Chain A
Amino acid sequence: MWGDWQQLWSVISAPDNVPIVALLFLVPFYIWYAFRQARANDELIAKLEADPAAAKTAHRKTQPYERGWEREVHTWPYLMRIEFVAAILVTVLLMVWSLTLNAPLEEPSNPNVTMNPAKAPWYFLGLQEMLVYFDPWIAGVVMPSLIIVGLMVVPYIDENPLGNGYYTYKQRKFAIWAFLVGFVGLWVLMIVIGTFIRGPGWMWFWPTQTWDASRVEYAVNRNLDDALGFNGSWLVYLLPATWKPFSALISHAIFGIFPLTIYMIVSFYFLHWLANLTEFSRKIYRRMSLLQTVTMFLFLSLMLSLPIKILLRLVFRVKYVWETPWFSV
C-alpha cells in the first residue's frame, strides 16, 4: 500500500515527533556549520605548514584580527547580552511551540490494552530498534552501559594533541569519523528509523506505506551455524551416550565462539591497519599505550559490530551468531 501520504503526514506531524523532524534539519545543519569552520582552519593550517617562518608570527585563527585589539573582552556586557538574547529567543520559541502544539495525552493507562506500536520515548528509539537485532540484555542493558563508558573513555584514549579548541577535520580524521559513525549513523539514524519506519508490530514500513496492523511478515530467522549448515549432527558420534540428546545445544554453544573470535581478530586487525594508514595517524598510534589501544579497539570493534549484526539480520535473516542456554548474541 504505497503512496499513503496521509500516513506519512500523521507520523511526521505527531507532536512528540517534532524533535525528530527538528533533528533531521539540525544535525545536518550543524555538521555543515562545523565543517565550514573546520575547512577554514584546515586551509590556514596548510598555509602555515607550507611557510614555517610566517607561522611564528602569523595570527593563528580564522577570526578577524587587527594589531592592537585586546585578546579578551569584558563578560559584561559583551557575553551576557548574548546570553540574555539567547534566553529570550528560547523563551519565545518555547512559547510559540507550546501555544501551537499540544503535548500528547492518550487514554488513561490500561494494562489490558496494548499500544501498537508501543514505542519508547523518542530519544530511546535507537535502543528499541536494537531490540530487533539483539536480545534485551544486550540492547537494553549492555549497550547503554557501553555507550556511557565508551563516551567517558574518549578523552583518555585520544592521544592526538592537535585540534584542541578549534574545528578541524584534517588533523582529527580518525576521531571525527568514529564519532560521526556513532552519533549520526548509529544513534540519530536509528531514532529516525524507529520513528518513521517502524510501524505496528515493529515491522518495517517505508515512508508513505500504510501502517497495516494486520500485516503478517513471514520471516524465518535462523542462527548463523544453521545458515552455514552446521547442525551438530557430527557431534552425535563423538559424545558419550548420555550427552547425545544435547548435541545440537552443545554444537550451537561451541560454534558461536569461532565467528565471534574471528570477528574480533579481523576487526582489531582492520583498526590496526586503519591506524597505520597515514604517516600522521601512525605517529599518534605510536604515542598510545597498550591499554589505550586495547580499550579503543574494543569499543570501536563493538560499535562496528552493530551494523554487521544489522546486516546479518536484515539481509541474511540470521538471528543469533552464538546461542547458548544462558545467553545468545
Chain B
Amino acid sequence: MAEDNGGKKPTGLLNRVQGDAKGLKTYVAEKGKEQLEGLKDPEKTQLYRSIFRVKHDETPRNRALSVLSNVFFHLHPAKVNRDAVKYNFTWGMGGITFYLFVVLTFTGVLLMFYYHPSKVQAFRDILYLENDVPFGKLLRNMHRWAAHLMIIAVWLHMFRVFLTGSYKRPREFNWCIGVLLMVLTLLLSFTGYLLPDDQLGFWAVTVGTNMARATPLLGNEGPFGALFGMTPYNDVRFALLGGSIVDANALLRAYIWHCIAIPLIASIFMAVHFWRVRKDGGISGPAPVMLEAEIKEEKGPRPVIMRPSGMT
C-alpha cells in the first residue's frame, strides 16, 4: 500500500490515514458488491427469514409450512378438500362475514376518533363527519353498508349450512355457536343504530326497547310483571336504557355495548367457532353422497317410549 510514496518511509499520521482510507475503499467496494448481489435473493436474508421462516417456493412442504407457520393463515388446514375450494358449495359466506367484521372494526375504530357518545355532541359529530372530516362520509357509509351486508351474509351462511346438512354430527355444537354469533351480529347492528342520535335511530330503538317493557315477569307491562314488583324504574327496559326513556344514558350504554362489549364477546365466540370448524373435521363437504341403505342401525337399544303408528 505504501509503494507510491517515492521510496520514502510513510511520514506521519496523514499518510497512514490516506493509505487506510484507500484500502477501505477497495474493501467496501468488494464487500458491498458481494452483499448487493446477495440482496437479489431476498429470501435468504436474515430479515426475511426472521419474519417468514419458510421459503416461498412451490415445494409441497413449503406450501404447507407457509400456512402452518403464519398466525393469520394457520386458521386454515394445510390442505383442503379439492371440491370445497369451489364457490358453489360454500358460497364463501362465512368468510365474507368474517371479512366484513374486520372491515367494520377498522372503519369503526376510525369513526370512534370523531365521535362523542353524549347527547350534546353525538349528532353534531355525525354532521362534522359528513361535511368536514376528509373521507368522513365515505367512512360512515362504508360502516353502515358493511353492517347491512354482514347481516345478509350471516343469514345466507346459515342457509347454506342448513341446506348442506352441515350442522349434523359432529358439528351440532358449532351450529349453536353460529346461532349465537348471528344474534350478536344483529345486536351489534341494533346498538349501532342509536349512535347517530337522529330520529331514525331514536325511534327504532324506542320501538325496540319498548318491547322489553312487555317481558314476562321482568317487564313492568309484561305478564305478571306488576306482581313481581316491576315498575318503569326497575324493570329490564330500565336496565337496558339506564333510565326510563331513551336518553343520554341509553346513548352511552349503546355505545359501550356497540364498541366494546359485543365485539369482545363476538370475538370470543368467533374464536370458538373457527376452532371448532377445524376440530370437527374442517369444511363439511362436498361429502360423498350417502345412500339410504347405508344408514347404520342404532347401537344397542334406545329408550323408545313412543312408537309411531303403523309400526310393529
A interface, CB within 8 angstroms of B: 16, 18-19, 22-23, 26-27, 30, 33-34, 37-38, 41, 44-45, 48-49, 52, 55, 59-63, 69-80, 82-83, 86-87, 90-91, 93-95, 97-99, 101-111, 113-115, 118-124, 127-128, 135-137, 139-142, 148, 151-152, 154-156, 158, 160-168, 171-172, 175-176, 179, 183, 272, 275-276, 280, 282-283, 285-287, 289-290, 293, 326-327
B interface, CB within 8 angstroms of A: 60, 63-64, 66-67, 73, 76-83, 85-89, 91-92, 95-96, 99-100, 103, 123, 126, 130, 137-138, 140-146, 148-149, 151-152, 155-156, 158-160, 162-169, 171-172, 175-176, 179-180, 183, 186, 189-190, 193, 196-204, 206-208, 210-216, 219, 221-224, 245-246, 284-293, 295-296, 298, 302-311
Contacts beyond the supplied A106-B199, A163-B168, A165-B164: 20 A-B pairs with Cβ under 8 Å: A49-B293, A72-B81, A75-B80, A86-B96, A106-B200, A115-B203, A119-B203, A135-B214, A136-B211, A137-B215, A141-B219, A155-B169, A164-B165, A166-B285, A166-B287, A166-B288, A168-B165, A286-B304, A286-B308, A289-B302
Quick check: B76 and A80 within 8 Å, CB to CB?
A: yes
> In the complex, how many angstroms separate the beta carbon of A38 from the nearest chain B beta carbon?
7
Q: Which of B141, B213, B292 contacts A103 (CB 8 A)?
A: B141
> In the complex, how many angstroms separate the beta carbon of B41 from the nearest chain A beta carbon?
21
A93 and B163 alpha carbons, distance in the complex (Å): 27
Q: Which of A108, A140, A175, A286 contacts B311 (CB 8 A)?
A: A286
Quick check: B285 and A108 within 8 Å, CB to CB?
A: no
Chain B residue numbers with a CB within 8 Å of A171 are 292
Quick check: A118 and B204 within 8 Å, CB to CB?
A: yes
Q: 30 A-B contacts, Cβ less than 8 Å apart?
A: A19-B152, A30-B160, A33-B91, A37-B88, A49-B292, A49-B293, A70-B82, A75-B79, A76-B63, A87-B99, A90-B103, A98-B138, A107-B199, A108-B199, A135-B214, A136-B221, A137-B219, A137-B222, A139-B211, A140-B214, A140-B215, A154-B162, A161-B168, A161-B295, A164-B290, A166-B285, A183-B155, A272-B308, A285-B308, A327-B223
Of chain B, the residue at the smallest CB distance from A73 is: B82
Quick check: A282 and B310 within 8 Å, CB to CB?
A: yes
Of chain A, the residue at the smallest CB distance from B196 is: A105
Of chain B, the residue at the smallest CB distance from A284 is: B295
Quick check: B303 and A119 within 8 Å, CB to CB?
A: no
A62 and B214 alpha carbons, distance in the complex (Å): 52
A38 and B144 alpha carbons, distance in the complex (Å): 35
Chain A binding surface, main DSSP class: helix
Quick check: B207 and A120 within 8 Å, CB to CB?
A: yes
Of chain A, the residue at the smallest CB distance from B287 is: A165
Quick check: A172 and B165 within 8 Å, CB to CB?
A: yes
Listed residue (A108, A289, A327) with the most chain B CB atoms within 10 angstroms of its CB: A108
* In the A-B complex, the 4 residue pairs with the closest CB atoms: A140-B211, A165-B287, A165-B285, A109-B202
Question: Known: A113-B199, A136-B211. Contact between A45 and B289, CB under 8 A?
Answer: yes
Chain A residue numbers with a CB within 8 Å of B293 are 49, 52
